[in-house]
Amino acid sequence: MNKPTIPPHKPLTPYPLWFSLALSPALVAVMTMLLEWVQHFLTVRVDHYVRPYGIAYVIPIAVLTAVGGRRVGFLTLLLSLGSEWYFLISPRLSFSVRNQGDWVELGFLVLVGLLVVAGIDAMRRNAQLLASAQAMAAREALINKVNDALGDTDDSDALQETAARELASLLRLDLCYFGVLENDGSIRPVASISEAASLRQNSRPPNSRRPPVVQIDFARVFHDQEPLVVTDAASDLIAAPVAAILAREAVRAAVFVPIPQPGVSSVLLIAAMTDTPREWSEEEIATIKAVALHTRAAVQAARVRLRNKTIASVLQEALLPTTPETIPGLDVAPFYRPALVEASVGGDFYDVFEVTEKTFALVVGDVSGKGLAAAVQVAIVRNMLRCLLYQEARAGDAVTRLNDMLATHNLLSGFTTLFVGLYQSTPKILTYVSCGHEPGLLRRADTQTVEELAPTGAILGAAAGMVYAEESVVLCAGDMLAIYTDGVTDAGTRSDKFLGVAGLSKLLQRSGARQSAEKIVSQVMREVEAHADGSLRDDACLLIAVA
C-alpha cells in the first residue's frame, strides 16, 4: 500500500508570520533534530508525514504537559486546534488556502501531540512515583535509625530524649524535644534536651521581656490532632494562641506534633528553627509525625515493661523461699537465674521447707513460659504443693492429688515438670516423685559414681486420674544430691554441644568430696556458664544437698 505523501509546496513568502520557519536553515535544522527525537521517543516513523517545521506545533503541547500534567496537555491540544496554530506556523501565501498536504500533516501532528501528551504524562507520573518512593525510603530509614537508637530501655524520659536527638541530627534542626503545653503558653520539657536545651535557653536576648500570659486551649489549637506548621513566625499570619507559644519558645519556624496519651492531652513533639525561617516539606512533616508516633509506642511499651518488672520483682521475693537455717544431717544450697533478666522471674523454681519435725521437702520445678505468666503458674503449683504435702503423709499421694486438681480445673496454661523429694533426717532416706522432670543425680561419696533418679510419672497437669509412684534411696555421709532444671543441662552454644546429663554428672564428680553445698553450687555453675560461653539460654535452677 502506498503511503500518503505531502504535496510539495512551491516557494512561499513569509506569510502569515513575520518570518518563515521553512525558509530559516537554522530553525529547520533544530526542528529536524527535534523530529528525530520525537520519532525515537515514540518509536514511530513520522517524518514521512510531517515536515521539520511542523514539530513546532508539538513543542508547546509537550512543555505544558510536562509542567501541568495530562489534562493541561489535552487542553492545550484542543486550544491549538481552535486557534488554528498550525496554519500560523505553516509558511504559505494565503492564510485562507488549505490544501491536502496541510490537512494530512495536521492530522499526523494531532496524533503526534496525543502520543506526546500520553508519553510525557507517563514519564511525569513515573518521576513522581520514584520521588515519592525515594522520600518514603528515606523516611523509613530515618525511623529505623531512631528505633535502633531507642533500644529496649525502660526509661521513658531517655527514650524521648534519644528520639529527639536523632531527629534533630537527621533533619538538622536547631531545637527538638518532647514537652507538655501549659496553660500560660509555655512548654514544659518531659525529658532533658541536652544540646537543644542550651539553644532554647540562649535563643532569647538576656534583657528581652517575656510575652504576656495567654491561656492556651489545647483542644482548640490542635482540634484535628494534625501537626501545626509555621514556616516563619515573623511573616506568617498566626493565631494569637499559636503566636504565644512561638514567643515563649523563642523560635522562628516550627512543627508542633500533638501526641495523644492517656491522661495527658497536651503532649507535643517540637521540631524548630530558632533564628531562621524554614519551608517544611511534606516528607519532613510526615517524618516528624512518624517519629512522634513511634516514640509514643516505645514509651508505652517501656512503661508496660517497667510495670511488669516491678510486679515480677515483688513476685520473685514472694516465690523464692528462704532455705531453713539448719536441716539435720543435710547441707543445702540453691542456685536460680531467670533467662529474662528484665522480668526477674522465670518458669523455674525451687522450694525447701519443713514438713514435719524430722521431714523436709526438697522441690524443683519447671513451668513453661517466662515473666509474669510463668510467675502465676509457679505460684499456683508451689503453694498448692505445699498445702498437700502438709496434709498427705506420702509424697506420691500429694502429687497425685495435685495433678488431679490442676488437670480437672485447667489451672495450667502449659506443661510443668516437677521433682519432689521428702528427706527424713533419721534415718537418712530420700523419698521422691519425679513428674517428667530431669533425672536427679546422686553422687556416692565412697565410689564417686553418679546414680540417676529417673522420672516416676508423666508431666504434671496433663490429664486427671494419673497415679504417681514414689521411690526411695538411702543417703550416706558425704553423698551429694543434685536436682536441677533443663536450663542447666541445655547449656551450650549449639544443640550438638549441650552439656547434657552426662556432662553435669562429670562436673559433680570433679567437685570436692568434702566441700560445702554452697561451694559446690558455685563451682558447678561457673563451669556450666563457661561451657555456654558465659551466657545461659534458658532459666536455670540447681539445688545441691550434701548428706
Name, of 91-105, 225-239, 275-289, 454-468, the range with top average pLDDT: 454-468
Rounded CA separation 417/398 (Å): 15
Q: What is the C-alpha separation between 438 and 212, in angstroms, rounded?
A: 74
- What SS3 state is found at 53? helix
Separation between Cα atoms, residue 10 and residue 97, nearest integer Å: 13
What's the pLDDT at 117?
A: 76
Q: For Cα atoms 326, 329, 331, give the angle at the middle one, nearest 5 degrees.
A: 60
CA angle at 366 for the pair 363 and 370, rounded to the nearest 5°? 135
* β-sheet bridge partners, residue 175: 272
Residue 217: how many other CB atoms lie within 10 Å: 10
pLDDT band at 208 (very low <50, low <70, confident <90, very high): very low
- Model confidence at 268, pLDDT cuts 50, 70, 90, reads confident
Average pLDDT over residues 190-208: 43
End-to-end CA distance of the chain: 112
pLDDT of the residue at 402: 96
- When comparing pLDDT for 190 and 426, which is higher? 426
- Of the candidate ranges 9-18, 80-89, 335-344, 390-399, the one whose mean pLDDT is the lowest: 9-18
219-222, Cβ contacts within 8 angstroms, sequence gap of 24 or more? 219/265, 221/245, 222/256, 222/258
* Interaxial angle between packed helices 156-171 and 195-202, expressed in degrees from 0 to 180 and rounded to the nearest 10: 70
Cell 488437670 belongs to 407
7-11, 216-220, 246-250: which is most confident = 246-250
- CB neighbours (10 Å) of residue 299? 23
In tens, the pLDDT along 142-161 reads 777 767 766 666 777 888 88
Three-state DSSP class for residue 224:
coil
Asked if the 156-311 domain carries CATH number 3.40.190.10, the reply is no
How does residue 224 score in pLDDT terms, banded at 50, 70 and 90?
A: low
For domain 320-546, give the fold: Phosphatase 2c; domain 1 (3.60.40)
Calculate the average pLDDT of the chain.
78
Q: Which residue has the higher pLDDT, 269 or 35?
A: 269
Strands (E), 173-231: 175-181, 187-189, 228-230
pLDDT confidence bin for 442, thresholds 50/70/90? very high
**Confidence at 413, pLDDT banded by 50, 70, 90:** confident
Q: Is the pLDDT of residue 111 over 70?
A: no
* Residue 404, pLDDT score: 95
Out of 189-198, 210-219, 260-269, 497-506, the most confident range is 497-506
Q: In Å, how far from its chain's centre is CA 78? A: 53
Mean pLDDT (whole number) for 479-499: 88
| Of the ranges 19-28, 75-84, 277-286, the best mean pLDDT one | 277-286
Domain locations in the chain?
1-150, 156-311, 320-546
Q: What is the dihedral of CA 44, 49, 55, 58, to 10 degrees?
A: -70
Q: Residue 430: pLDDT band by 50, 70, 90 thresholds?
A: very high
CA 339 vs. chain centroid, Å, equals 22
pLDDT confidence bin for 330, thresholds 50/70/90 = very high
On the question of pLDDT at 212 being above 50, the answer is no
